[in-house]
Structure 1
Amino acid sequence: MTYVASRIAAAALAVLALASLASPAMAANEPITIYTDNYAADEAMSRVARDLIEEHFDTPVELKPVSVGVSFVGTARDDRAMFLAAWLPATHADYMERVKDDVVNLGTIYTGAKLGWVVPDYVPADQLDSIEDLKKPEVAERLNHKIQGISAGAGLMKLSNKVVDDYALDDYRLITASGPAMTAALKRAIENEEWIVVTGWSPHWKWERFDLRYIEDPKGSLGGEEYVDAIANPTLVETEPEITDFIRRMSFELDQINPMLAEAERTSYDEAAQTFIEEHPDLIESWLEGD
């Protein structure tokens, strides 16, 4: 071997040695992806998780906003991914069924979640208190034969289509839109004291800002009380046990979430997450350190 060739070979070996030493650190510092589904509670809580992971575990986090279905599939396929908004047992049951063998359930983030159809409180309860009341001709007329919905892929919209069938609401049109478009339509109606029915859920900032109520669902088409779980890729659980154990301990009460969402609506999700962290030091410590 010539002198030049031997020097090149030695340099190559040195590079490989350095790479082998650096690779564990590089892997440890590789970003974690948290999928978000564009809905208020998930957006806010995912930012709380991101900020705490980056600050206390020295690991960068990328929030990736996608549709609900992609959140589940992405978590199952991406070795460093999780999703903090699996509504169970009903709303996201179909999505969870598809990936249940490819994700780890890290436990419940909060309980008391609810889906339903919502009206402003000024709509007289003696005229509209139940989904059954929507079949009254005078009620349908006041509502322009419309139910304001959200995005087509949302579990709530799948159940709302079932409501239309179960209650034979053939005279109504379930309008597909985004979550923000739904709240914009609600706001406009309230400003003009017009009747409106929207597909709604708790937690959400609208409960802090407006006087609203769910209308009854006597057939139970929209399901009962839900709980919201966090799911993670099995490889992430294996390679980042401290971070995923932190997520296992992360939990909220509904009366903590709604004010945070109202703050996010006034400012931003990023600011609301930081405010929440600053205002709940004992809670945050319990998540980080355990009981």
Structure 2
Amino acid sequence: MKRLSCFLMTAIIAVSVIPVGAAMAAQPEPIRIYVDEYAEGQVMSHVAKSVIESEYDVPVELKTVAVGPAFLGVANDERSLFLVAWLPRTHGDYMDRVGDKVDNLGELFDGARLGWAVPSYVPEDQLASIADMTKPDVVDKLGGEIQGISAGAGLMQVSKETIEGYDLDDDYRLITASSAAMTAALKRAIDNKEWIVVTAWSPHWMWERFDLRYLDDPKGVLGDREHVDAIASKGLAESEPEVHAMLKRMHYTLDQINTALVNAEQTSYEQAAQTFIDEHPDVIADWTAGESKQAAAN
């Protein structure tokens, strides 16, 4: 009887363990999407996560990092993405370092722009361009500060070069802060009708919320219009060809991005991403070409 009991127990354990092990083996490794603090990157990364998981049954994890580590991560990981490579100017240095180790999947949207911005109530006859910031009265009204964002952002590096290019070193300091802190400082200044210069970019919800204008950049230090590309690890095309192909078809209009960013500011990145997906089934169908791994399995 004891020998029979042992035999039955062994059989039960074998039956219960093998399917679990097989299921675990069948589960693919997650795709890692590196995300920086840019709001459009947050929204687009949440959209990509939802589409990849629902249409291709592949798990996705989001990892928030600074821009430099995002490029290095995609270069070194086998299954990773970064969806906000601002090119050719803003993230050009990062791309030069890793360009031969990543796949550029193409443009997610065009018409992106960097610059320094002021509230529109700041008189244009006194402060119309970055060159005007050398005027003593302007320096005084701005308190010798330029409100920036996080230290690792490409915009901050370009802003440092702009300070040097316009000989503003002696009169101004570039304030490092999060994007949220930058917009909070902007709101406080506007509420009090104070002068402020912020490092800015488009698209961003602040252009919908506040009446702002970019300062002219006669020396062109901040660069011209940019495009935002998706980059992927070299191994993704082989390990997830359908996902890789979908990402190459992924594209937004500026209006779609702007609307999503306003929604994100009012709700959350996750909710704004889901709202975009719910409101644009034709766009998602174009990206996925009307197919999915789940649909194929059925």
Give the TM-score, by structure 1 length: 0.91
1:265 alignment partner in structure 2:
265
Distance in 1, Cα, partners of 2:149 & 2:274: 28
Once the two structures are superposed, the pairs formed by residues 150-229 of structure 1 within 5 Å of their partners are 150-169=149-168, 170-229=170-229
The Cα of 1:21 is off from its aligned counterpart by 6.2
What are the superposed Cα offsets for residues 81-128 of structure 1, whole Å, 9 maximum, x if unpaired?
111011100111111111111111111101111000000111111111
Q: Which runs of 5+ in 1 are unaligned?
A: 1-6
Once the two structures are superposed, the pairs formed by residues 84-95 of structure 1 within 5 Å of their partners are 84-95=83-94
One-letter amino acid matched to 1:25: A
Distance in 1, Cα, partners of 2:42 & 2:20: 37
2:230 pairs with 1:236: no
1:38 alignment partner in structure 2:
37
| Cα distance, 1:253–1:139 mapped onto 2, change above 3 Å | same
Once the two structures are superposed, the pairs formed by residues 1-291 of structure 1 within 5 Å of their partners are 25-26=26-27, 29-169=28-168, 170-289=170-289
Q: Answer whether contact 1:151 1:178 (CA < 8 A) is retained.
A: yes
- Classify the secondary structure of the residue corresponding to 1:174: strand
Distance in 1, Cα, partners of 2:24 & 2:98: 30
2:3 alignment partner in structure 1:
none
What are the superposed Cα offsets for residues 180-206 of structure 1, whole Å, 9 maximum, x if unpaired?
111110011111111100000011110
The Cα of 1:24 is off from its aligned counterpart by 6.1
Q: Answer whether contact 1:75 1:233 (CA < 8 A) is retained.
A: yes
- Classify the secondary structure of the residue corresponding to 2:117: strand
Distance in 1, Cα, partners of 2:23 & 2:254: 44
- Classify the secondary structure of the residue corresponding to 2:84: strand
Distance in 1, Cα, partners of 2:71 & 2:20: 34
Distance in 2, Cα, partners of 1:98 & 1:84: 17
Distance in 1, Cα, partners of 2:266 & 2:256: 16
One-letter amino acid matched to 2:253: E
Distance in 2, Cα, partners of 1:23 & 1:41: 34
Distance in 2, Cα, partners of 1:60 & 1:20: 18
Q: Answer whether contact 1:128 1:134 (CA < 8 A) is retained.
A: yes
| Cα distance, 1:234–1:263 mapped onto 2, change above 3 Å | same
The Cα of 1:153 is off from its aligned counterpart by 1.3
| Cα distance, 1:238–1:24 mapped onto 2, change above 3 Å | farther
- Classify the secondary structure of the residue corresponding to 1:101: helix
One-letter amino acid matched to 1:43: Q
Distance in 1, Cα, partners of 2:25 & 2:96: 34
| Cα distance, 1:236–1:253 mapped onto 2, change above 3 Å | same
One-letter amino acid matched to 1:66: V
Q: Answer whether contact 1:208 1:259 (CA < 8 A) is retained.
A: no
What are the superposed Cα offsets for residues 168-222 of structure 1, whole Å, 9 maximum, x if unpaired?
1121111111111111100111111111000000111101111111000000000
Distance in 1, Cα, partners of 2:60 & 2:109: 22
| Cα distance, 1:18–1:278 mapped onto 2, change above 3 Å | closer
Moved over 3 A (4+): 17-24
- Classify the secondary structure of the residue corresponding to 1:265: helix
Distance in 1, Cα, partners of 2:48 & 2:135: 46
Q: Which runs of 5+ in 2 are unaligned?
A: 1-6, 291-298
The Cα of 1:259 is off from its aligned counterpart by 1.5
Distance in 1, Cα, partners of 2:225 & 2:235: 31
Distance in 1, Cα, partners of 2:159 & 2:209: 24
One-letter amino acid matched to 2:111: G
| Cα distance, 1:236–1:20 mapped onto 2, change above 3 Å | farther
2:293 alignment partner in structure 1:
none
The Cα of 1:25 is off from its aligned counterpart by 2.0
